[in-house]
Amino acid sequence: MKSLNELEEIRKRALESVNLRKDREGTRVVVGMGTCGIAAGARPVLLAFLEEIKKRNIQDVTVTQTGCIGVCRLEPMVEVYRPGEEKVTYIKMTPDKVKRIIAEHIVNGRSVTEYTIGAEEK
Amino acid sequence: MEFYRAHVLVCGGTGCTSSGSTDIIDKFNDELQKHGLQNEIMVVRTGCFGLCEVGPIVIVYPEGAFYSRVEIGDVPEIVSEHLVKGRIVTRLLYHDSITEEETIKSLDEVGFYKKQMRLALRNCGVIDPENIDEYIAFDGYKALGKALTEMTPDQVIDTIKESGLRGRGGAGFPAGLKWEFTRNAVGDKKYVCCNADEGDPGAFMDRSILEGDPHSVLEAMTIAGYAVGADQGYIYVRAEYPIAVKRLTIAIAQARQYGLLGKNIFDSGFNFDIELRLGAGAFVCGEETALMASIEGRRGEPRPRPPFPAVKGVFSKPTLLNNVETYANIPQIILNGPEWFRTIGTEKSKGTKVFALGGKINNTGLVEVPMGTTLREIIYEIGGGIPGGKEFKAAQTGGPSGGCIPAQHLDTPIDYDSLTQIGSMMGSGGLIVMDEDNCMVDIARFFLDFTVDESCGKCPPCRIGTRRMLELLDKIVSGKGEEGDIEKLELLAKNIKASALCGLGQTAPNPVLSTIRYFRDEYEAHIKEKRCPAGVCQALLRYIIVAELCKGCGLCAKHCPVEAISGERRKPYTIDTDKCIKCGLCMEKCPFNAIIKK
Ligand SMILES: Cc1cc2nc3c(=O)[nH]c(=O)nc-3n(C[C@H](O)[C@H](O)[C@H](O)COP(=O)(O)O)c2cc1C
Ligand code: SF4
Ligand code: SF4
Ligand code: FES
Ligand code: FES
C-alpha cells in the first residue's frame, strides 16, 4: 500500500459488493415473481436487470422480487421506486424492454410511459 | 465484479457456529446452485450479530430480513420462497423484527438493537471478516493511512488523549496517557501488545470482535506502533478461541499482502508487523506482567510493578499493552476526531462499552451501549427482561474481580466511576443478571472458587487467603456457619486486598464484599436460621408436604429411595427430614404439586 489514493481505489471497488448492506436509499426495482409471473417469463426479465446493472456499473440500485402483483394477465410486471417519486409499474415485460427502462428511467429518471400500466389501460 | 442482487449473511460467531451455521452456509450454497442463483446471490459468513441466544442467525439483504433459529431444513424454503419468489418466510423471522402489519422492521428498530450503539462492534455481523476488501469498503485502513501520511506521532497521541478513551480491559486507565508514557520511554526497541486473553467466566466480548472484525485490531495496533515508535506487535490470544485465531491469521496474511503490514507502509518509511502468541488459558495470564512473561516464553506469573510495561515490558523493552476493545475504537477516533468521540458517554467515561449479557435474561448476547446507559435500560429494553416474569435481584459486573449491583441501583448510569462507587467495577464487560432464585452467598462462592483455582500461587495472601475465605463460605452454605463468620470474611478480604501481589488477588474478595454489603441478611439467614432464602443451597433445603394440598395418594412414599416418607392412604403424608437425602424425587413425582422445598 503506497497511498491513500490506492486505498480509495480498493474501497470503491469493494463498496459495490457491500453496498446492499448499507442504507438502502437508492432506486428499487421489484419484479413480480408469483407463479403467473414466473410462467409469463419473469425470470429472464430479472436476469436482464442484473445483467444491465452490472454492465453499466450502476450504483445504488437494488433488485428484489415480490409475489404476485395481482393482475396476472399483465405479467411479467416490474415496479420501479425512485426516492421521492411515485412508483412506476411496468407490464408485460421482456428483456428487451429492460434495456430501455434502465437507460431512460433508472439512469436518467424519465419513465418509459408506453410500457407502463397506465398506457395499457387507456 | 458480479452484481449480486441479494446477500445472505450467516453468522459465523462461536455461538452460531456451535449451533450449526457452517452446515447452513454449505446448504445455502448447494441450494443456490440448484436454482442456478449462484451468480446473483452472495453468501457471506460474518461475525456475531449479538443475539446468540436465538442463533443460528441469517440476515438477507436488501430486505434486511432477520431470520433466527434457522435449521438446515429451513434453507430450501428460504431459497425457493424468499430468494426465488421474493416471499419472505415470516415464520422464521425473529419475533421482534416484524411490525404489527407483518412488515419487516429495520434492524435499529428491533428492541434488542434500538438502544445500542455499535462502535467497537460496528463491522460485526456486517462484513466477511476473512475478506480484507470488505473491511476496506467500510473505511477500513483509512485511519492508518491518515495517521501515517497526515499526522505526526504526537498528533496521534494527542488525538487519543483528547478523545478521553479509557482502557476497556478492566482498570479503565486513559489510553492516550499510556501511549504517551510508552512513546517517552527510552529504548532501542519497543513493542505494541494486544491483550486478547479474556479469561472471565461468561465473557466473550473480545472474542467476538476478533472473530467479526479482526482487521480493526490490526489497524489500531499499527497506528499505535507508529505513535509510540514500535515496529513489532504481539497479540496474546487464548488457544481456546480457535475461530478467532484462524481469522486473525488470515487477516494478518491479507494485511501483509496489501502492504498494510510490513515495510514502508503508505510509503511513510514506517515498518510494522504483528505476530500471534497463543495462551494456554490461565486467568492470571491476562494480568499485564504475567502476559508479557508468557509472550517471552516464560511461566505466566505476575511480578511487582513498577516498573510498568511502558518502561520495562516484553523482553525488558518499553511496551504498550491495550485490550482488544480499546484498540477496536481507535480507527474511528482517528477518522471522526476526538470531539466526535467525546460527545458519546458520560463526563469521565467516553464512548461505548460492550457487555456480554448472560444469566437470567431473555436476550442473552452481546450488546454495546453508550457509557451512561442505565442497568434498567440494558436489562429491560435491550435484554428483553427476565424470563418467567421473575423479580430482578442483582447484576454482577466485572466477573471474579467485580461485584453485584442490587435493584436499588438499577437506574445508576453505568460508567467506570459510578460502578466503583457502588462497590462493583466495569471489568472487561461480563454482565450476569440474577433473579429471586439466585442465592447471593452461592454466587460469591462461585466466583471465589474460580479465583482460588486460578491463583498462580506466587503470593501467600492470594494462595492461602482466598482459600480460607472459600472454606468459610463452604461452611456457611452447608449449614455450619457460625456467628462471627461474616466478620472473619471481611477481615480476610481487607488483608488480601492490601497485600496480594497482582490484580487477581487484590480484587478476588470483591464479589464476597459486595454481596455482604447488599445482602448481609441473606448471609445471616444461612448462618443463624440455617436457611437459604432463595432455596439454592442444597444442605439447607427441606422438603415439606403441604397438608392442605396432599391427597394422600402415596406416590411420593413409593419413590423415596430412603423411605423417608410415611402416611396413611387418603390422609396427608409427611417427610422425616432427618432421613431425607434431598434428592427431590418425591417433588417430581407428586401429581398434585403438594411438595415444596424451603
Ligand atoms: C487477573 C487479571 C486478569 C486480567 N485479564 C485481562 C483480560 O483477560 N483481558 C484484558 O484486556 N485485560 C485483562 N486484565 C487487565 C490487564 O492487566 C491490563 O490492565 C489491560 O490489558 C490493559 O489494557 P487497557 O488499558 O486497554 O484496558 C487482567 C488483569 C488482572 C489482574
Ligand atoms: S404424592 Fe403428593 S398427593 Fe400423593 S401423598 Fe405424596 S404429597 Fe400427597
Ligand atoms: S427428597 Fe428424596 S430423600 Fe427426601 S423425602 Fe423426597 S424422595 Fe425422600
Ligand atoms: S454467534 Fe451468532 S449471533 Fe452471536
Ligand atoms: S459467539 Fe458471538 S457472541 Fe455468541
* Sign of the dihedral through C-alpha B311, B419, B329, B133: positive
**pLDDT at residue B107, rounded to an integer:** 77
* Residue A20 to residue B62, Cβ atoms within 8 A: yes
* Spans of all domains in chain A: 23-121
Is residue A120's pLDDT more than 70? no
- More confident position, B165 or A110: B165
What atom in ligand 2 is closest to the CA of residue B557?
6
Least Cα distance to B269 among B228, B318, B226 occurs for B226
pLDDT tens-digit profile of B78-120?
A: 999 999 888 889 899 998 887 777 777 777 788 888 899 999 9
Mean pLDDT computed over B50-55: 91
> What letters, b where the CB count within 10 A reaches 16 and e where it falls short, cover A64-83?
bbbbbbeeeebbbbbbbebe
pLDDT of residue B438: 96
Report, as an integer, the average pLDDT of B147-154. 97
Mean pLDDT of B384-391: 93
- Residues B60-97: b if buried by 16+ CB within 10 A, e if exposed: bbbbbbbbbebeeebbeebbebbbbbbbbbeebbbebb
Of A13, A18, A53, nearest to B138 by CB-CB distance is A18
- Determine the pLDDT at residue B202: 83
Instruction: Indicate the pLDDT class of residue A40, thresholds 50, 70 and 90.
Output: confident
B5/A38 CB distance under 8 A: no
**Cα(A93) to centroid(ligand 5), Å:** 46
- Judged against a pLDDT cut of 90, whether residue B324 lies above it is answered with yes
Q: Do A34 and B267 touch (CB under 8 A)?
A: no
Euclidean distance between the first and final Cα of chain A, in Å? 60
Compute the CA torsion angle B40, B46, B51, B53 (nearest 10 deg): 100
Instruction: Indicate whether A14 pLDDT > 90.
Output: no
B256 in contact with A at a CB cutoff of 8 Å? no
Residue B513's φ and ψ, nearest 5 degrees, are: -60, -45
Under the banding of pLDDT at 50, 70 and 90, the label for residue B1 is low
Buried b (16+ CB within 10 A) or exposed e, B428-448: bbbbbbbbeebbbbbbbbbbb
Residue to mutate among B124, B136, B144, B256, with most A CBs inside 10 A, is: B136
Mean pLDDT confidence for A73-95:
88
Model confidence pTM above 0.90: no
Indicate the residue of A17, A38, A65 with minimum beta-carbon distance to B1: A17
Which of A18, A24, A54 is opposite residue B3, by nearest beta carbon?
A: A54
Predicted confidence band of residue B597 (pLDDT cuts 50, 70, 90): confident
Q: Is A39 on the interface with B (CB under 8 A)?
A: no
Is the CB of A62 less than 8 angstroms away from the CB of B258? Answer: no
**Of the ranges A31-35, B38-42, B330-334, which one carries the lowest mean pLDDT score?**
A31-35
CB-CB under 8 Å, A1 with B265: yes
B548 contact A CB<8A: no
Nearest CA in chain B to A42: B85
Ligand 4 site, residue B372, Cβ cutoff 6 A = no
Chain B residue numbers touching A23 (CB-CB < 8 A): none
* Pick from B527, B535, B472, B466: nearest CA to B501: B466
A1 touches chain B (CB under 8 A): yes
CATH 3.40.50.300: does it fit domain A23-121? no
Band (pLDDT 50/70/90 cuts) for residue B322 is very high
Query: Is residue A44 left, alpha or beta, with left meaning phi > 0 and alpha meaning psi from -120 to 50?
Result: alpha
Arithmetic mean of pLDDT, B162-169: 97
What residue ranges in B462-548 does DSSP mark as E strands?
543-545
On the question of pLDDT at B318 being above 70, the answer is: yes
Q: Which amino acid is at B97?
A: S
**pLDDT (average), residues B455-473:** 96
Q: Identify the pLDDT of residue B158.
A: 98
Average pLDDT, stretch B48-56? 92
Mean pLDDT estimate for chain B: 94
| CA nearest to B22, candidates B61, B56, B53 | B56
pLDDT score for B227:
98
β partners of residue B355? B367
* Cβ neighbours of residue B420 closer than 8 Å, sequence gap 6 or more: none
Mean pLDDT over B60-71 rounds to 92
Residue A122 has pLDDT above 60, yes or no: no
**CB-nearest partner of B136 from A10, A21, A53:** A10
Which atom belonging to ligand 2 lies closest to the Cα atom of B555? 1
Identify the band that residue B431 occupies on the pLDDT scale cut at 50, 70 and 90: very high
Over residues B199-221, the pLDDT tens digits come to 888 899 999 999 999 999 999 99
> Cβ of B137 and A50 within 8 Å?
no
Closest C-alpha among B459, B457, B462 to residue B493: B462
Residue B139 has pLDDT above 60, yes or no: yes
Helix ranges, B122-174 (H): 132-137, 142-150, 153-163
Contact B86 A31 (CB under 8 A): yes
From B264, which residue of chain A is nearest by alpha-carbon distance? A2
Q: Quick check: B145 and A1 CB within 8 A?
A: yes
pLDDT at position B95 = 86
Question: Is a pLDDT exceeding 90 seen at residue B69?
Answer: yes
Confidence of residue B142 (pLDDT cuts 50, 70, 90): very high
pLDDT at A24: 59
Residue B207 has which C-alpha cell? Answer: 472474542
Strand partners for A112: none
Structural domains in chain B, sorted by start: 6-114 (3.40.30.10), 135-342 (3.40.50.11540), 352-435 (3.10.20.600), 440-528 (1.20.1440.230), 542-597 (3.30.70.20)
ipTM above 0.95, yes or no: no
- Nearest Cα neighbor of A78 from A41, A52, A109, A104 is A41
* Torsion sign, CA atoms B396, B402, B408, B411: negative
**Per-residue confidence at B170, pLDDT binned at 50, 70, 90?**
confident
Pocket test for ligand 3, best of B545, B559, B585 (most atoms within 8 A of CB): B585
Look at residue B74 and tell me whether its pLDDT is greater than 90: yes
Taking only the tens place, the pLDDT of each residue in B328-387 is 999 999 999 999 999 999 999 999 999 999 999 999 889 999 999 999 999 999 999 999
How close does chain B come to A108, measured CA to CA in Å?
Answer: 20
- All three cell numbers of B577: 427430614
Residue with cell 423479580: B391
Q: Which candidate from B62, B134, B145 shows the least CB-CB separation from A62?
A: B62
Handedness of CA A45, A50, A54, A57 (dihedral sign): positive
pLDDT (mean) for A68-79: 79
Q: Does residue A90 register a pLDDT over 70? A: yes
Q: Tell whether A53 is within 8 A of chain B (Cβ).
A: yes
Q: Measured between alpha carbons, how far is B253 from B247 in angstroms, rounded to an integer?
A: 10
